[in-house]
Structure 1
Amino acid sequence: MNQYPDKHSDAPGADLDQQAGEHGMTRRQLIRHAGWFGGAVVLTIAGGEVISHVANARGAAATTAAGDSNALRFVQISDSHIGFQGPANMNVAGSFTEAINQVNSLRFRPQFVMHSGDLTHLSTAGQFDQVKEMMTGLRTERVFTVPGEHDSIGDSGRAYRRTFGRGTLGDGWYSFDTHGVHFIALVNTVNLEKLGHLGTEQIDFVRKDVAGLPSDTPIVVFSHIPLFAMYPQWGWSTDDALKVLAYLRRFSSVTCLNGHVHQLFTKSEGNITFHSATTTAYPLPKPGQGPAPVPQVVPAGRLKDALGIRTVAYRQGTEVLAVKEEKLA
């Protein structure tokens, strides 16, 4: 279940009941924008400009925020696919447990952990109960979630919302504020045919949600499916995302974090930077490499190189946001 403070509140929660690349992008451009497995992506926000680069996976993403006890630090995990059975990963519960242990062994205790969707593989009651119980082991103040399409199979997400949707709106969207950052959690996996879809009600929620915010407020948006056209042929895009992004263009810094594609990718468009996260379950092929995004079997002993978590640090007043990728290996 999502557990989060009231809108515009910093009060902590305590419960857990809660071709390649973008269409038309050349391979050279893709390599310049992406670090597929591993590698730290550092975002520096200064004067309203977002500058990013791929850095070494071991510590090069560190900023002054990392050692600041007053900094906001959170972790993104994604695509645990509890219930999956197949040669790409014969023990997804085991690798998800390793991811949880990795979160708990970080040099800091994150203010919250966000699971950005596909918590389960088949959205059964048993799978939801299992992943919920597993996440009680996370050492953090709060846990947030957004659903993936695998969490909405057969019932338009009703089972997901019964388990994780307390306090959310519509199909499970919500927002909250902490440490001077405004967070928006969106659902683009319920009403979809091929591409992700937000819908008019949710788009209107975003319009009203950000209307009173100062333009220098850092914005972080969570969704499962990317909010940019990463590879529409595989459904790696959201058909009406531009309508939401239009309401965010006036803000000096916007960061959109998604799952779904099971690999790292970063892309900037003006004031908005998009980061796709890796998975704790199994890798998918790079865009266009194969007829469909099916689970990939990697050489023995190399699976953990393709799995991981993401840590984010932000120190209020310095306009620095650090996004670091941590492999399970």
Structure 2
Amino acid sequence: MNGHGGHSGHGGQVQEQGVGEHGMTRRQLMRHAGWFGGAVVLSVVGGEVISQVAHGHDSPAAATADDPHTLRFVQVSDSHIGFQGPANTDVVGSFEHALGTINSLGNRPDFVMHTGDLTHLSTPAQFDQVKQMLSTARTDRVFVVPGEHDSVGDGGKAYRQTFGANTSGDGWYSFDTHGVHFLALVNTLSLEKLGHLGTEQIDFVRKDLAAVKSDTPVVVFSHIPLFAMYPKWGWSTDDALQVINMLRRFSSVTCLNGHVHQLFTKTEGNITFHSATTTAYPLPRPGTAPAPTPQVLPAGRLKDALGIRSVTYHEGDHALAVKEERLA
């Protein structure tokens, strides 16, 4: 079985556990271009995050492929196991395809992070199925955070029974590896307030970050975006600014989320936000539909909208290489 959870000496302990548009600026265009075959390299220069596209052997990922000081991890999101509908008639098959894509990467990732909506209806059988499927990923550890579909009707109780051992509060935690500090947050339990972290979790983050040096790269995982991507649809976290303000002292911060089922990147000073795509079904772009409902694509086009994200970091470089891998 892979290990879920991690360990941190900051604000609480988490131990190993078993789970088995037109008008773009040039920089925006470069960032978007990286979604289609290149890697978006995020470099911190003079405290500012600079984006550039790297291809093949020009990327840090390629240059450090055999270096033991290189961290490699994969983000997968929104598998929605249990979903039934014309947008994807086989979410199990597409999630299996995503896991196969992970297992066929050139390097074994140090861990895999699932950023929520593991299931569609939060049933024990669905959680067990996801747990078993994640155990097939060729990696040392698997981490997860919950989505709102993982807390249907029970406030996340069934999710925490399967995945929450040795986490804090409603399932948040932190860990360190390869010189990077990771925060895994839960912002899906108060959806009447859109995404919401809550006082207890914000206090956890404050205590956790107090012991982390400012030159340490920080990566934050959450399901719902920590920035106001489209609040009308709940694509926002109402109290995230309190956490964002705590992160401003760090030279390099990367926030990775799911929920929106599409790629989107936003940079604010030292903090870059990356929304991930899904392994289940696409959602419309903000404002292009009355509501974020599953989109039915033409025959043979679904896998073009599905994918995983691989991330590479070379210890001491303050650089992250983020590459999208489509399932097509």
Q: TM-score, normalised by structure 2?
A: 0.91
Structure 1 counterpart of 2:7: 6
Aligned residues: 319
What runs of 5+ residues in structure 2 fail to find an aligned partner?
none
Structure 2 counterpart of 1:82: 81
- Answering whether residue 302 of structure 2 is matched by residue 307 of structure 1, we say no
1:323 aligned partner, one-letter code: V
- Answering whether residue 288 of structure 2 is matched by residue 289 of structure 1, we say yes
CA apart distance, 1:59 = 7.3
Question: Would the aligned equivalents of 2:95 and 2:280 in 1 still touch at CA under 8 Å?
Answer: yes
User: Within 2, Cα distance between the matches of 1:306 and 1:240?
Assistant: 30
Structure 1 residues 240 and 29, CA gap change in structure 2 (3 angstroms) = farther
Structure 1 counterpart of 2:71: 72
1:255 aligned partner, one-letter code: T
What runs of 5+ residues in structure 1 fail to find an aligned partner?
19-25
% identity of equivalent residues: 68
Deviations for 1:252-276, whole angstroms, at most 9, x for unmatched residues? 0000000000000000001100000
Question: Would the aligned equivalents of 2:184 and 2:221 in 1 still touch at CA under 8 Å?
Answer: yes
Structure 2 counterpart of 1:21: none
User: Within 2, Cα distance between the matches of 1:211 and 1:270?
Assistant: 21
Using CA pairs below 8 Å that are at least 6 residues apart, which structure has the higher relative contact order? 1
RMSD, aligned CA: 2.3
2:140 aligned partner, one-letter code: E
Question: Would the aligned equivalents of 1:80 and 1:119 in 2 still touch at CA under 8 Å?
Answer: yes
Deviations for 1:119-149, whole angstroms, at most 9, x for unmatched residues? 0000011110111111110110000000000
Structure 1 counterpart of 2:140: 141
User: Within 2, Cα distance between the matches of 1:110 and 1:14?
Assistant: 17
Give the alignment of 1:1-329 within 5 angstroms.
3-8=4-9, 16-17=18-19, 28-29=23-24, 32=29, 34=32, 38-39=36-37, 40-53=39-52, 61=59, 63=61, 64-329=63-328
CA apart distance, 1:69 = 3.1
CA apart distance, 1:75 = 0.3
2:5 aligned partner, one-letter code: Y
CA apart distance, 1:165 = 0.4
CA apart distance, 1:299 = 1.2
CA apart distance, 1:36 = 10
Secondary structure of residue in 1 paired with 2:232: helix
1:120 aligned partner, one-letter code: T
Mean alpha-carbon deviation: is it higher for 316-325 or for 72-81? 316-325
Structure 1 residues 302 and 29, CA gap change in structure 2 (3 angstroms) = same
CA apart distance, 1:28 = 3.0
User: Within 2, Cα distance between the matches of 1:17 and 1:231?
Assistant: 33
User: Within 1, Cα distance between the matches of 2:78 and 2:57?
Assistant: 24
Structure 1 residues 138 and 170, CA gap change in structure 2 (3 angstroms) = same
Mean alpha-carbon deviation: is it higher for 190-199 or for 273-282? 190-199
Q: TM-score, normalised by structure 1?
A: 0.91
User: Within 2, Cα distance between the matches of 1:320 and 1:37?
Assistant: 18
Deviations for 1:52-81, whole angstroms, at most 9, x for unmatched residues? 24566x777553234423201000000000
Mean alpha-carbon deviation: is it higher for 36-45 or for 192-201? 36-45
User: Within 1, Cα distance between the matches of 2:148 and 2:314?
Assistant: 33
Question: Would the aligned equivalents of 1:173 and 1:185 in 2 still touch at CA under 8 Å?
Answer: yes
CA apart distance, 1:16 = 3.9
